Amino acid sequence: MTAAQLLDALGGLGVTVAVCDGRPELRSAFGGKLPEAVRAKLAELMPHVRRHRDDLLALCGVDVFDAAAAVRRMNRADAVVAAAGGVGLHPEIQLAAEVVCERYAARDRAGVAEWCEQVERLARLYRKREPQ
């Protein structure tokens, strides 16, 4: 079952997906108490909801923040700085790294990626060259 099929199935049960604090939240047209048949079918669909969490959020128009992927991206930028030979204390690199951390705290996937690229560009620009 795809995320789109799952949305259709949920819609057929009178259940919609909303986003609350970055998580999919199922809301029922029935209010608080679901009919037994709907509850049973919903229980069958819950493993699919968990499996397709990110896809459901994307279909709802939410830019999904993956903390592990963001940390991997930041580690790659850090490796570029380390390979540049000790330029990590340069004020421009320090400032760009601060912005990366701010974007991470704001759970801004695109901002983390953009500023990690900036850190890498600056590290390459200021890299220490071996004497010839």
Per-residue pLDDT tens over the stretch 23-58: 778 888 776 677 888 889 989 999 998 898 888 887
Using an 8 Å Cβ cutoff, are 30 and 38 in contact?
A: yes
Task: Locate the domains of the chain by residue range.
Answer: 3-59, 67-126
pLDDT digits (tens, 9 = 90+) for 57-72: 878 766 667 788 899 9
CB atoms within 10 A of CB 91: 7
What pTM was computed for the model? 0.55
